[in-house]
Amino acid sequence: MNLDNLITMANQIGAFFAANPAREQAVADIAAHLRRTWHPRMRREIVACLAVPEGGRLDPLVREALECLAADRANA
């Protein structure tokens, strides 16, 4: 899938959950949403985006959620 589209979609999800005043809960909700609804290939591609310059376009909440997903994969 196109990385630009994945970043846009992830940031839209992040914007929805950003309304939660508890930052940690917003991050957890974003990660849970991505785990539950995104295909594993999409999750792999968006997590890999953390290591490339395009990753700078990720919302900070989304970046934190993706770091959680990356940690999940590393511990699996």
* Alpha-carbon span 3 to 47, nearest angstrom: 11
Give the pLDDT score at 47.
95
Contact yes or no for 53/33 (Cβ under 8 A): no
pLDDT mean for each 10 residues of the chain (76 residues): 94 96 96 96 94 93 96 77
Neighbouring C-beta atoms of residue 75, cutoff 10 Å: 6
* Cβ count within 10 A of residue 7: 19
Other beta carbons within 10 angstroms of residue 44's beta carbon come to 14
Structure pTM?
A: 0.92
